[in-house]
Amino acid sequence: MKKRILIVDDSESIREVLSFTLENAGYDVLAGVDGEDAQKYLNGEPIALVITDLHMPNKDGIGFIKDVRAHEDYKRVPILFLTTESQTAKKMEAKSAGATGWIVKPFVPQKLLAAINKVVR
């Protein structure tokens, strides 16, 4: 079975770029527009990886990372967050919220896949 990756981002073009790259790499992709919207995917179905943006309306990335970690089925699921090079403080905050790693924006497909490769096999 294909591994499923949940992506959460409020920007449509970023979602599209992620979906395209991930599907091309052989993953199934679930997409949520923000932390609130993505809750619907935390329904017990297996998820191999979560990729989330940090700045989002309704519920932001930090909040969503905490939700995932608090969920019995997903507390060990790797979580990568999208960040820019300068956001060091934010990086620490996300890591202590339970994130596994990060992806620096802007990214090219091979960077994205390399980051995923560190946490999912």
Partner 1 sequence: MDQFKQKFKEEATDLINDLEEALLLLEQNPNDKDIVERVFRAMHSLKGGGAMFGFDHVSEFTHHLETIYDLVREDKFLVSADLLTITLESVDHIKDLLFSDEITKEIENNHSVLITKLSTLATNDVGKAATPIENQDNTASTQKSFYVFFKPNPDVFENGTNPLYLLDELCELGESRIISHSENIPLLDDLKESNSYLYWEVIIVTDQELNAIGDVFLFVEDDCELEITQVAEGNLLADEKVIRYLADIEKESKVVDIQKLEREISKNKENKTEQGSKESTGTDTSVISSIRVASDKIDTLMNLVSELVTTQARLSLFTEQQEDAELDAIGENIQKLSRQLRDNAFSISLIPLQSIITRFQRLVRDLSNGLGKKINFKTEGTETELDKTIIENLTDPILHIIRTSIDHGIEDVQTRINSGKPEEGTILLRSFYSGTNVFIQIIDDGKGLDHEKIRQKAIEKNLISESTQLSKKEVFDLIFMAGFSTAKEVTDVSGRGVGMDVVKRKISAIRGDVEVDSEPGEGTTITIKLPLTLSIIDGLLVRVGVTDFIVPLSAVQKIYAVNKSEIIDNYTHTVVLDEKQTPFHNMREFFTIDKEMPDTVQVLVVTYEEQSVGIVVDYVVGEYQAVIKPLGKHYKDQEFISGATILGDGSVALVLDTNKIIKQSAEEV
Q: Which residues bind partner 1 (CB under 8 A)?
A: 12-13, 16-17, 20-21, 24, 69, 76-79, 95, 98-102, 108-110, 117-121
In order, the DSSP letters of 66-86 are: HHHHHSTTTTTS-EEEEEETT
Cβ neighbours, 10 Å, residue 80: 23
Helix, strand, or coil (residue 64)? helix
By beta-carbon proximity to partner 1, the closer residue of 58 and 75 is: 75
By beta-carbon proximity to partner 1, the closer residue of 16 and 45 is: 16
In angstroms, give the least distance from the CB of 36 to partner 1.
22
By beta-carbon proximity to partner 1, the closer residue of 21 and 59 is: 21
Check if the beta carbon of residue 15 is closer than 8 Å to that of residue 7: yes
In angstroms, give the least distance from the CB of 30 to partner 1.
17
In angstroms, give the least distance from the CB of 109 to partner 1.
4
Measured CA to CA, the distance from residue 121 to residue 116 in angstroms comes to: 8
